[in-house]
Structure 1
Amino acid sequence: MAEGLRERKKRRTRRHISEVATGLFVERGFAEVTIAEVAEAAEVSVNTVYNHFRSKEDLVLPPDEASSRRLADIVRERPPGETAARAVLARLREEVRRRDRAVGLAEGFGRVFEMMRGAPTLIARLEDLAEQMTAALAEVLAEETGSAPDDPLPRLVAGQIGWCHAQVFGEIGRRITAGEDPGAIAEGVLRLLDVIEELLGERVLEYAPRAAG
């Protein structure tokens, strides 16, 4: 369904507030900036900020971008015949090749990453998000494979896929901190994904192919 004018205006407002806030956080530190200061810099009211973002952390990690359903959605959207692990690996390769904002390869993200590393509440949010992603993926795998409630396989496979996802983001963060440019980082991460795929093995790579129809 096409996005309406009201939804577009809301999305633009959210993006504007988030970008202004992130700029302030990078410049001064996450803990040092108040919501009131974000509202003033973005030329909106404090209530408007809270209407779009439930918490200060959401300004940096908006739920529509940093979603706990990310891995589950990738797997649900895969074409018939493709397995869960291969779908996630394919999406990661695609995002890395185009230097997608979703994997932190946009120009200037290095300073944002440094800011996030210095904010304990943001680190905690990222750790919690990773756990939620894995749990949501395990539910999808159990549902699709018809696994019994006490079958550990969906949870274990989801854990392996979540580990792959975390390795990619960890590698990008490490290379950004070292000052590498996005192109060099992308090349290195694509090589890393090849190694990860070899390590996973057939049991994980061929688990849960999507049924036709």
Structure 2
Amino acid sequence: MSEGLRERKKRETRRHVRETALGLFVERGFEHVTIAEVAAAAGVSANTVYNYFETKENLVLPPDEASPQRLADMVRGRRPGEGAVPAVLRTLRGEVRSRDRKLGLTDGFGRVLEMMRAAPTLTARLEDLGRQMTDALAAVLAEETGDSPTAPLPRVVAAQVGALHSLVYAEIGRRTAIGEEPDTVAAAVLDILGAAEELLGGHILTYARGKDPQCSE
């Protein structure tokens, strides 16, 4: 079904408000910009901003892009017979190659990341989000392998995946901050993912394989 005029207008307004806010936050610092100032700069009311973003932090880390279920969803959606870790690696590679916006493969992402790291509330939210992602992934791995939620193996695997996921974002932020082009950054991140896959190897790559429908009997 094609997007209607009303839906398109709402999506464009939401994007405009967020881009305006990010510009102000990068220029002046997250804690020095109010919602009222974001609204004025975007040409909308403060209520409109809150209609799209429940909190100021959501302007930087919207729940639909910064979901605690991000890694778990990659595993839930893996191919039949595919291991959990290869599914995450494949998904990340696809996002890098397609220059997915959520990865920050844009010219301005480095400055946005610096702004986030300078704001205690955003830094705390990033750290909490990372923990939630790891916990959610560990829970899915435990459930699908029949392990206890507190068993060490699901948590160890989830911690490894979570650390790699964080490294990808940190590398993108570092390289864009020093002015590298998105294509150069993407190539470097793909190299990191390749190195991670080579080092992980063995049991971890075959751990928690997705069920093959042909082998369900």
Residues 85 and 205 of structure 2 are in contact (CA less than 8 Å); yes or no, is this contact kept in structure 1?
yes
CA-to-aligned-CA distance 1:176-213 (integer Å, 9 cap, x gap): 22322211111111111111112212121111010023
- Percentage of pairs with the same residue: 65
**What letter corresponds to residue 176 of structure 1 in structure 2?**
T
Letter in 2 for 1:20: T
Q: CA separation in 2, counterparts of 1:146 and 1:8?
A: 44
Partner amino acid, structure 1, of 2:188 = G
| Deviation larger for 5-14 or 74-83 | 5-14
SS in 2 for 1:71: helix
CA distance in 1, matches of 2:150, 2:175: 40
Give the RMSD, CA atoms, in angstroms.
1.8
Q: How far did residue 3 of structure 1 move? A: 5.9
**Correspondences of 1:52-63 after superposition (within 5 Å):** 52-63=52-63
CA contact (8 A) 1:85 1:161 kept: yes
- Give the partner amino acid of 2:211: A
In structure 2, do the counterparts of structure 1 residues 5 and 132 end up closer, same or farther at CA, with 3 Å as the change threshold?
farther
CA-to-aligned-CA distance 1:40-59 (integer Å, 9 cap, x gap) = 11222212212221211110
Summarize the Cα distance change of 1:5–1:155 in structure 2 as closer, same or farther, 3 Å threshold: farther
Amino acid across the alignment from 1:118: A
Q: How does 1:120-131 map to 2 (within 5 A)?
A: 120-131=120-131
1:160 is aligned with what amino acid?
A: Q
CA deviation map 1:107-133 (0-9, x unaligned): 322222222222222111111111111
Partner of 2:24: 24
Q: How does the TM-score come out when normalised to structure 1?
A: 0.92
> SS state of the match for residue 62, structure 1?
coil
Aligned partner of 1:68: which letter? P
1:93: which partner in 2? 93
User: Within 2, Cα distance between the matches of 1:6 and 1:136?
Assistant: 35
Contact 2:117–2:123 (CA<8 Å) still a contact in 1? yes
- The answer to whether 1:68 aligns with 2:68 is yes
Alpha-carbon distance in structure 1 between the residues aligned to 2:104 and 2:149: 36
* TM-score using structure 2 length: 0.90
Q: In the alignment, what sits opposite 2:145?
A: 145
